[in-house]
Structure 1
């Protein structure tokens, strides 16, 4: 039988210990302090999944920047917008290109320029600013005649008209009034070979269908005779000298031309389309050979941009692979620089051109110092110029093809839905969320340790105990003390509950 010596009646009840125990339990001190927990967290090693996610994010950022640069190189506005066009006979035609122009040659033959209808007064005056022509109003209409001859028509179809009031008009004041009315015609006072002055009126637009008609309301009462303001009447459906009083000096006509043998006609001499995004302004009759070529300056800029974008991307990838991820652990990322290396050295389909590799146009690949890392590209402008001189279209097209191919490779890593880096990132994030969910899930609070030692060793995050639970634990400790007071004494002393070895406990078997 067990016997107890030195038994202190104060411990026959657990009341003297309960307040201290209850306080410690409610503060979580028996289950680990918040200070020690924080210290443990701060000293814990970095989460490898978080490291990997950070690296993948940086890698995708590098590839996105790389793609933006590549897309600028082969963008249609740049790819087809940098061509230059030359005319062998600039007196006949000037030429220009716009986005979409490609290398081509055109033979342009101009047989007739577009003209604007023009007519002049049949009378002339020795001065333009003092002699009065007449008073009344001019109604100027624009439209088209149905001609039966160059100066006679059966009808006129108007597209708009303006009435201009004239009071004691001289040639100069009449010209100013017409020009200020915005009637679709242009009036000028011209000096003829005899030194006298005439009024000339021309359609503002060229083209066979762009005609004009002038009807007069003359203050002298006769609107079609050769006196007063009616001398300025011009209606080609009327008889010459009786309503058609201005003399036509130039008939309206379209431009006529051929481009590589194909006939063309235009109401204007400007913006004549020779081919895709290539246009000419016709200046005179005659022939001219038009050549369109890739602009070397733009090509050189694109080649330098490709080398710079490639080198920047590879340098960034090398840094990420060497510093933050093991090739062993991330074969997907580790494969990328090697694939980029291959693309820079590949042979590409370039139509009928013999230029199929970057090295043929001055972009030379240099291997990395360490196997598995990304290499670099360097540009030799002299070699690029030589390739351009021999085949400008092939040189440009190879450069654009490689840029597109590199972009497609980068896109296979970064595109949403099927990009390998995107899928890897999503998988790691799912794994991280699952692990965090397990870690942060609290155990059911109504389960109790089978003894006080387990209670004292519980982690701090499980210390949320209700008053009822604390009371229950106190009762458990009370019962435990009756059966094993010596064990309880040692346990409480070891946990710093304010009890010492001189508290009166001693036990003998």
Structure 2
């Protein structure tokens, strides 16, 4: 039975004070309007100033990227010093090359001794290299250095590397040489033919130098590891007696190269890469003397100067065109400062060692101011001035260009580097701002009114309207107050709006 305990008829006055629920549910007052969505769409179609600035910053970074690539070519070591000229008066004695740091200079090189590799040959010879068996067992080869008491006798041997053991089975001279060379033991084996036409095995250290020696220990299948029979004939240890463990015959001692450069003595384990001076090295080919002359090449210097001016002018022209049309100093001071910073950089004084050439204007690169303050200027090259600087201090002129290119690259990098570049950071901040604006524009607004009817509410969240907490609370309060004054009417309205309540299933009791 539908009943309301303690019902007071005076509450029926709510019928006259509150609007009819049915009329509200069926009116447009409780409908989530779609007008807000259409307004958001209209506003998003407007031109986005952030996107315009992002495009400008992207173009600026592209300009600077091209500028940096050109600068890096100017001071790359392969270009910076690759154009230098170096000559040897006696190329049979030494060849010469230049690298980073080369200066105009002359060197008198006198080679008294070339570096040599330790080498020894079998004391016996065979009529063939591939048929006659030398022996079987194993060879243990160790590289290191001897403490010599004479050219062929030593008190001790100090290993430099781990010994390598090689198994030999019925080895001939050729097969033994192949086994040694395949073991990467730090030595090289060759079968050589002597003056009588017989064959011998020669073993040499892979590296030259007085400290690069080797020894060979033998485990001979005939039971004697140091005699002059079988595989033990290949034993070579200069701490042992000749013929009893020192069975190979030393044919070349391990030696360092000995030489003088402008009278100063030098020694090296190798004949290659001998440093004569800053950025100048020689390969020793024979004993004797040679005059080495090094000059910076003017042609390369002129090319580098032209490249620096061209790269600067191209970058500044592109920046002027872009910033003059798109970004004003008032709304982007970071970008607007760029051309002025570049202008200042090419007018700076640079540290250049002991050279008196410290400014680009001294090597013929003159700066021209722009027609309007705040824009980028230009560089022009006077080749005659560059030639004069080269004639007085060619290495100083070259180094000034390299230093200026590196400094300009560092300045550009302060704008473009990931993580710390000012343009990169500005771009990220604008992208974040743009994303936040897009979230605001495209996030559906919560309607301030209720759905058309309760059936739409029941279909939530598949319905098209959303209810805020305030709306739900208001609807609940409306129903509560209305039920006190007119419970039976409310019951009928709810059933009529599709809540699934039967006409006998509702009871309100106070």
The TM-score by the shorter chain falls in which range?
Answer: 0.5 to 0.7
Aligned-partner Cα distance in 2 for 1:424–1:237:
73
Deviation at 1:25, TM superposition (A): 6.4
Question: 1:396 aligns to what SS in structure 2?
Answer: helix
The 5 Å alignment of 1:19-34 reads: none
The 5 Å alignment of 1:221-232 reads: 224-226=226-228, 229-232=231-234
Contact 1:92–1:282 (8 Å) recurs in 2? yes
Structure 1 residue aligned with 2:119? 118
Contact 2:131–2:172 (8 Å) recurs in 1? yes
Contact 1:90–1:288 (8 Å) recurs in 2? yes
Deviation at 1:319, TM superposition (A): 1.9
Structure 1 residue aligned with 2:65? 65
Contact 1:87–1:93 (8 Å) recurs in 2? no
Aligned-partner Cα distance in 2 for 1:222–1:423:
82
Aligned-partner Cα distance in 2 for 1:218–1:33:
102
Number of equivalenced pairs: 433
| Alpha-carbon displacement from aligned partner over 1:424-445 (angstroms, at most 9, x marks no partner) | 9979999x999x99xx9x9xx8
Structure 1 residue aligned with 2:268? 266
- Shift in CA distance, 27/350, structure 1 to aligned 2, threshold 3 Å: same
- The question of 1:162 aligning with 2:158 is answered no
Contact 2:93–2:287 (8 Å) recurs in 1? yes
Structure 2 residue aligned with 1:398? 400
The 5 Å alignment of 1:169-180 reads: 170-180=172-182
Contact 1:107–1:259 (8 Å) recurs in 2? yes
The 5 Å alignment of 1:139-288 reads: 139-142=139-142, 143-158=144-159, 159=161, 160-167=163-170, 170-216=172-218, 224-226=226-228, 229-275=231-277, 278-288=280-290
TM-score of the aligned structures, taking structure 2 as reference length: 0.62
Contact 2:255–2:269 (8 Å) recurs in 1? yes
- Shift in CA distance, 422/155, structure 1 to aligned 2, threshold 3 Å: closer
The 5 Å alignment of 1:279-428 reads: 279-290=281-292, 294=296, 299=301, 302-325=304-327, 336-338=338-340, 340-345=342-347, 348=350, 350-365=352-367, 368=370, 373-378=375-380, 387-388=389-390, 390-407=392-409
Question: 1:391 aligns to what SS in structure 2?
Answer: helix
Q: Which runs of 5+ in 2 are unaligned?
A: 1-18, 450-467, 476-510
Contact 2:334–2:422 (8 Å) recurs in 1? no
- Shift in CA distance, 300/69, structure 1 to aligned 2, threshold 3 Å: farther
Deviation at 1:113, TM superposition (A): 1.8
Aligned-partner Cα distance in 1 for 2:387–2:86:
19
Question: 2:115 aligns to what SS in structure 1?
Answer: coil
Deviation at 1:265, TM superposition (A): 3.0
- Shift in CA distance, 240/312, structure 1 to aligned 2, threshold 3 Å: same
Q: Judge which range, 271-280 or 32-41, deviates more.
A: 32-41
Contact 2:86–2:98 (8 Å) recurs in 1? no
The 5 Å alignment of 1:42-57 reads: 50=50, 53-54=53-54, 57=57
Deviation at 1:152, TM superposition (A): 2.0
Aligned-partner Cα distance in 1 for 2:396–2:192:
56
Contact 2:415–2:423 (8 Å) recurs in 1? yes
Aligned-partner Cα distance in 1 for 2:248–2:415:
76
Aligned-partner Cα distance in 2 for 1:215–1:414:
63
- The two structures, once aligned, show a CA RMSD in angstroms of 5.4
The 5 Å alignment of 1:464-483 reads: none
Deviation at 1:322, TM superposition (A): 3.1
Aligned-partner Cα distance in 2 for 1:178–1:425:
62
Deviation at 1:351, TM superposition (A): 4.5
Aligned-partner Cα distance in 1 for 2:422–2:40:
39
Q: Which runs of 5+ in 1 are unaligned?
A: 1-14, 447-463, 470-509
Contact 1:87–1:288 (8 Å) recurs in 2? no
- Shift in CA distance, 404/210, structure 1 to aligned 2, threshold 3 Å: closer
- Shift in CA distance, 233/66, structure 1 to aligned 2, threshold 3 Å: closer
Structure 1 residue aligned with 2:137? 137
- Shift in CA distance, 171/319, structure 1 to aligned 2, threshold 3 Å: closer
Question: 1:193 aligns to what SS in structure 2?
Answer: coil
TM-score of the aligned structures, taking structure 1 as reference length: 0.62
Deviation at 1:310, TM superposition (A): 2.0
Deviation at 1:188, TM superposition (A): 2.6
Question: 1:268 aligns to what SS in structure 2?
Answer: coil
Structure 2 residue aligned with 1:92? 93
